[in-house]
Amino acid sequence: MPILIIACIMLLLLCIRLIIYIARLRHSMNDIKNELMLTRDADYNRQLTVDLLDNTLSEMTAELNRNLDYQKKLKERSEAAELSLKQSVSDIAHDLRTPLTVISGNLQMLSQEAAFSPAAMEYIRASREKCAAMKLMADDFFELSVLESDSSAVQTERVNITNELMQFIADNEAVIRNNKLVPDITFPDKSVFAMADRVLLSRMLGNLLNNVVKYADGSFGIQLVEESGGASVVFSNSIDDRQIDAERIFERTYRADKARSGSGAGLGLYIVKLLAEKQGGLVFSYKENNVLYIGVRLKKAE
């Protein structure tokens, strides 16, 4: 009987010790999880620092640290390669802009000569058109590389969006008329204010108008909407039977009609997205009754 009691006591002590060990093990695993979360948030610029009493866990933590070092090196290589690619794109785009400008100027001067046959003039016209398309692509890639590599914060201010939009429409009246478009403009009765950068705002509106010029037929809409959280500028145009994925149009290089022979590299709306985000805003798009709506929402004026 005493032997049985002693055995039960020893078994109880063993169970208590096992429970304590499991509790400490769970605590150590939780510490490792928290350390991994901190390391992830720090972009792998730290290692796990956990006091462990179990040799197996200590070895596992050391192996995790070695893997974190490897991930950090991979991340640094990836960032360096991406930066190098962006710089290469920027350099190539910059180098292309000057000769394309010269070629375009020379072709324009040639088109003013009367000595060429009608067939030669048609070749010159086609060359000027393709040259302009290439220059637009180079400009888009150059602007994109600058935007993606510039991480500096944009200083926004309280801007009268109504006045800026009215001035933009007036400045681009010739563009709208030359493309035989009629704008349907809708403004609130009072001025609308939002936080924005005037230069970036103008560039966004320019890209949105360029998109309308490419795809609108006859008319398009410009709507300014005041909202509780800010203000939205929405461009709209009929899309007929074209298959357009409204959820993807802000992706890089997405083109609604790949067979279309329009100019540009399909970066205009992606650049709008980057410019909006730099100002703390966002972009949105949707289709309704064969009409495509593309908008920019800016933060409420302080």
Both tokens of residue 254?
């997405």
Tell me the residue range of the domain where 196 lies: 157-300
Same domain, 123 and 44: no
In this predicted model, which residue has the larger pLDDT, 256 or 215? Answer: 215
Q: How confident is the model at residue 91 (pLDDT cuts 50, 70, 90)?
A: confident
Give the Cα separation of 83 and 286 in Å (integer): 33
Report, as an integer, the average pLDDT of 68-75: 79
Q: Give yes or no: residues 185 and 219 share one domain.
A: yes
pLDDT tens string 191-212: 999 999 999 999 899 989 988 8
Which domain-ending residue is among 133, 149, 165?
A: 149
CA atoms within 13 A on the CB side of 236: 18
pLDDT mean over 263-279 = 81
Specify the pLDDT at position 259: 42
* C-alpha to C-alpha distances, 164 to 6, 46, 170, 205, nearest whole angstrom: 90, 47, 10, 10
Residues 220 and 143 in one domain: no
**pLDDT given for residue 209 in this prediction:** 92
What does the pLDDT read at residue 72? 79
Q: Is residue 84 part of a domain?
A: no
Closest to 28 (Cα-Cα) out of 2, 51, 3: 51
What's the rounded Cα separation, in Å, for the pair 155 and 160?
16
When the pLDDT of each residue in the chain is averaged and rounded to a whole number, the result is 81
Residue 66 maps to a domain: yes
Do 161 and 294 belong to one domain?
yes
What's the pLDDT tens digit per position in 20-44?
777 777 777 777 777 777 776 766 5
- If asked whether residues 111 and 245 sit together in one domain, one would say no
Could you tell me if 52 and 102 lie in one domain? no
Kindly report the backbone phi and psi dihedral angles of residue 167, in degrees, each rounded to the nearest multiple of 5, phi listed first. Answer: -65, -40
- Specify the DSSP class assigned to residue 78: H
E-strand ranges in 157-218 read: 157-160, 182-186, 193-196
Would 241 be classed as within a structural domain? Answer: yes
> What's the pLDDT band for 1 if we cut at 50, 70, 90?
low
pLDDT of amino acid 273: 92
Give the Cα separation of 49 and 198 in Å (integer). Answer: 48
Residues 109, 73 within the same domain: no
Give yes or no for a contact between 90 and 63, defined as CB atoms under 8 angstroms apart: no
pLDDT for res 213? 86
* 142 and 265 share one domain: no
Determine, yes or no, domain membership for 163: yes
162 in the same domain as 255: yes
Residue 271 has pLDDT above 80, yes or no: yes
How far is residue 16 from each of residues 7, 28, 150, measured CA to CA in Å? 14, 18, 59
Residues 6+ away with beta carbon under 8 Å from 103: 131
pLDDT of residue 131: 85
> Per residue in 118-176, pLDDT tens?
888 888 888 888 888 888 777 777 777 777 766 677 889 999 999 999 999 999 998 89
Same domain, 296 and 231: yes
Residue 82 covered by a domain: no
Quick one: average pLDDT of 77-83? Answer: 77
Q: What's the pLDDT band for 241 if we cut at 50, 70, 90?
A: low
Of 102, 117, 149, the residue that ends a domain is: 149
Is residue 131 included in any domain, yes or no?
A: yes
Q: Answer yes or no: do 59 and 28 share one domain.
A: yes
Number of domains within the chain: 3
Mark whether 175 and 136 lie in a shared domain. no
Nearest to 89 by CA among 127, 42, 146, 14: 146
228: helix, strand or coil: coil
- Which of 9 and 285 is assigned the larger pLDDT? 285
CB atoms within 10 A of CB 120: 13
Report which residue type is found at 185: I
**Residue 132 resides in a domain:** yes
